[in-house]
Each structure stands twice: as C-alpha cells, then as structure tokens.
Amino acid sequence: MDGLRFTRELLDTEGLTIHELLKASRDGEWDRLRRGAYVRRQETDERRRHLLLIAATLPQIRDGSVVSHASAAVLHGLPVPRQHLERVWVTREDGGHGRRGAVLHLRRCRLGPDEVTDVGGLPVTSLERTAIDLARNGTLEWGVIACDAALAAGLDRERLLDAAARIHGWPGAHRAQRAAGFADPGAQSPLESVSRLQLDRLGFPSPVCQFPVMAGGELVATTDFGWEGERLVGECDGRAKYGELLHPSELPADAVMREKRREERIRAAGYWIVRWGWEEAWNPVALRRIVERGFALAPRRRRAS
C-alpha cells in the first residue's frame, strides 16, 4: 500500500543503516506502525494510518484470519471510535481463546460463509456482520451509529436484522438487536444517530430524518430532523466551524451569511428551529431543555394553546 515502508526496503532503497532509521524514527521523520513497518510522520489521518497498519499486519498472521470489527469498519467506511484504531482486529473460527496484543486484537467466533466478503483483496466480515459486531461489542450509541451508517451505505434492512438474529445468545446480542431494530438510513452522521437515540430515550415523538421543508410546493431546505405536526425542525451542529461548510472560493463570512439566509427561509415557511451539538446530545438534561422549548415555541403548539 502506498505510504507503507518496511525496514528492509528503507535500508536498501534509502541507503539508511538500522541506527539511522532508528534515529529518523526518534526525530519524527519516520513513524513506526509496528515492528518492521514505517510510515512518514505526515501520515496523520487516523483512518489512513489504520489501513496502513492492516496492510503491515496481515502478512504476519496465519491464513484464515478475517479482518473484522473496527478494522472491517474502516474498510467498509463506517464510523468507528478512535480508541479502537490502535490495533488490527481479526476474527478466526478455529478453537482457542481470543487475545489482545500491542498491535493485534484477535477474536474467535463463528463466521458463516456469507458473512465474509472481499474488500480490496482482503477477507473482511460483511457489512452487516461488521455493523452487528460493533453493536454487540460497544455501547448502544455506537451500535446505532454503526447500524445507521450501514443502512445509509445501501445495506438492506432485512440483511441487518438477519445478522442480528444469528447471534442470539451471544454476549451483547440484545444490545446489537436493539441497535439494528432502531437503525434509520436517514441519519447521516454519528451526531444524528446519537441524537435520535437520546430523543427516543427522553420520550419525544420520533422525528423524520432528512426532513424536507416545503413552501409553495418548493423545497426550501432539508433539515436533520423534523416534526411536521408541530412545525418544528432540529439541526445538529456537529460540523461546528463554518470553515467546513465552505464552497470553493468562499470566505467563512459567506458561509455564515448563507446559513443565516437558509434559516430565515425555514422560519418564513412556518417552522421553528432548534439546534444542538455533541455536548447537548450526550447530556439528556440539556437536550430535553432545548427540544422542550422548541415544542413550546413551535407555531402548531402555539395555535393549539
């Protein structure tokens, strides 16, 4: 894989001695991914570095190992907790116990033939099995994130539910089955997934994801969440900085103005807007306060009072 360099290659092609290579690693020019494998320090993207770690690790382990869990999630393009990218995750079906080392996290459990696919020439757990493995081994929040993202990537819901049913009686099966049943392909970010789950826990009516705001038969905007009966929409500000919303040749001030005008059009269409970010999504007290105030101020609620 481009960017990955092995010790022998560096010694032969770069003309380095082993002592010079170790010094270059200490000085920050080369970063050791694992024993015998290096990457230039500017390779800072964590998902990219994990792909390189997979490429450096698989040749060192026995045939029959299938890339799984967080590593499979990276290959499938699913969100994954940052702390799970420190090791390569693989699953094997043969006997024995799993283990977790400095570089490799080995799990041993059953894999059906239809639960293994090929991604970039590597044996990888299928999209549905990967999502379910993440859901049963993590928190419910991350399970919903994984299952939402898998459906958004085009996975058929029945295949996800079938994968969840297959692990009946396994550790974490109930949590994974709940996440699969709650999954919605309309959630387009981890923040939206966590927010949906929190809103459900707080007892609010289920919102429509990617809600179309219409006025005069024309689409005004698409919001993260919407409650049509209340004329209320919700927006998750996970992007945080307007710099990430910039169009080509656009200044931050232009993005701010464009967002304000969009909000004005939503209000002119007869909707109230509530906004929250990651901090509020993880804080049920704060999220309840924001959304309850939105329901109280929304046009439909005011007319009914």
Can you give the pLDDT of all 305 residues of the chain as single tens digits? 566 656 666 556 666 666 665 666 666 666 666 666 666 665 557 888 888 888 888 877 777 899 999 999 999 999 998 888 889 999 998 766 678 887 899 998 889 999 999 998 999 999 999 999 999 999 999 999 999 999 999 999 999 999 999 999 999 999 999 999 999 999 999 999 999 999 999 999 999 999 999 999 999 999 999 999 999 999 998 554 444 444 555 555 556 667 788 899 999 999 999 999 999 999 999 999 999 999 999 987 555 54
pTM (2 d.p.): 0.82
Cα–Cα distances (Å) from 205 to 28, 107, 199, 295, in that order, read: 52, 39, 8, 11
Residue 246 DSSP label: P
| CA dist., res. 130 & res. 151, Å (int) | 12
| CA dist., res. 196 & res. 131, Å (int) | 18
The contacts of residue 230 (CB under 8 Å, 6+ apart) are: 295, 298, 300, 301
CA 156 to chain centre: 18
The contacts of residue 4 (CB under 8 Å, 6+ apart) are: 33, 37, 38, 39, 52, 55, 56
| CA dist., res. 51 & res. 121, Å (int) | 13
Choose among 8, 93, 11: nearest CA to 56. 8
| CA dist., res. 87 & res. 165, Å (int) | 28
Domains, the chain, in order of start with CATH, read 1-41 (no CATH), 45-182 (no CATH), 191-304 (3.40.960.10)
User: In this structure, are residues 69 and 84 in contact, taking their beta carbons and an 8 Å threshold?
Assistant: yes
CA 32 to chain centre: 26
Phi and psi torsions of 238, nearest 5° = -75, -20
| CA dist., res. 292 & res. 295, Å (int) | 5
| CA dist., res. 132 & res. 143, Å (int) | 7
| CA dist., res. 182 & res. 41, Å (int) | 41
The contacts of residue 94 (CB under 8 Å, 6+ apart) are: 64, 108
